[in-house]
């Protein structure tokens, strides 16, 4: 009798344990939502891309001539109090250039293109940077972009991702309510995208044309910052 009761108790425990285990390990229904946000941020930095372009008969002459002008440009920028840490080489290329007229390929010489990127958070200096560079021998201003400094990017990124996450939560709550379910815990989160596009204030081949265009005051622009967050929630 006692043995039978013990067997029954063990069976009950086993069945109860199995049911509890099944309930705990049972895959719950999930919902995947995408949260988005777009915020505006005022540009706090400008980048001026200065081109020093030389064409000479030999690659060595072209490189040396370019180096001489580049040095003059750097000195001119220092003279208007541009810190060296805000000047960097954006690109540098030396390549042969050919004349294909009269159905012939004739070597014209070797072109060297050195592009310097100059950053400033003082927008009143943009015109001075262009003037000093062109006067020192630079022949192209490739672009002037309004951008966000790294410090401001970090600040805006936090805000944009936070708003995108909140948007995802609102969408998930609304979906759960429509399904007569309760929103459960977060299973996974993926920050799919965070981006902003610098605003190109000016781009031209002629440095002289840019100098003339910069006769008016330059004001910063608002930039759109976008973030996308994918979140998977459990439904109870």
What is the tens place of the pLDDT at every residue in 3-39?
656 666 656 665 555 445 445 555 778 999 999 999 9
Given a contact cutoff of 8 angstroms between Cβ atoms, the answer to whether 27 and 213 are in contact is no
Residue 87, pLDDT > 60, answer yes
Rounded CA-CA distance 143/196 in Å is: 17
Supply the pTM of this predicted model: 0.75
Instruction: State the average pLDDT for the chain.
Output: 87
Burial of 154 (0-12, 13-18, 19+ CB in 10 A): exposed
pLDDT mean over 179-185:
91
What is the C-alpha separation between 216 and 46, in angstroms, rounded?
Answer: 16
The pLDDT, as a whole number, for residue 143 is 87
Give the CA distances from residue 118 to residues 59, 78, 125, 144, in Å, rounded to whole numbers and listed in that order.
Answer: 26, 11, 11, 10
Mean pLDDT of 98-108: 89
- Residue 231's pLDDT is 96
């Amino acid at each position: 009798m006692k043995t039978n009761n013990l067997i029954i108790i063990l069976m009950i425990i086993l069945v109860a344990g199995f049911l509890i285990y099944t309930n705990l390990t049972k895959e719950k229904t999930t919902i995947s939502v995408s949260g988005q946000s777009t915020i505006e941020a005022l540009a706090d930095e400008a980048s001026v891309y200065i081109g020093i372009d030389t064409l000479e008969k030999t690659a060595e002459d072209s490189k040396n001539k370019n180096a001489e002008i580049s040095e003059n440009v750097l000195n001119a920028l220092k003279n208007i109090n541009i810190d060296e840490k805000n000047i960097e080489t954006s690109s540098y290329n030396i390549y042969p250039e050919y004349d294909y007229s009269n159905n012939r390929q004739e070597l014209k010489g070797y072109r060297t293109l050195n592009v310097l990127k100059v950053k400033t958070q003082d927008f009143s200096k943009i015109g001075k940077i262009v003037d000093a560079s062109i006067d020192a021998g630079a022949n192209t201003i490739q672009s002037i972009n309004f951008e966000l400094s790294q410090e401001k990017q970090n600040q805006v990124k936090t805000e944009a991702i936070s708003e995108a996450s909140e948007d995802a939560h609102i969408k998930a709550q609304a979906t759960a309510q429509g399904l007569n379910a309760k929103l459960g815990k977060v299973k996974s989160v993926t920050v799919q995208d965070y981006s902003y596009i610098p605003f190109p204030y000016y781009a031209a081949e002629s440095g002289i044309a840019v100098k003339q265009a910069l006769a008016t005051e330059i004001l910063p622009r608002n930039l759109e910052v976008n973030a996308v967050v994918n979140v998977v929630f459990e439904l109870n």
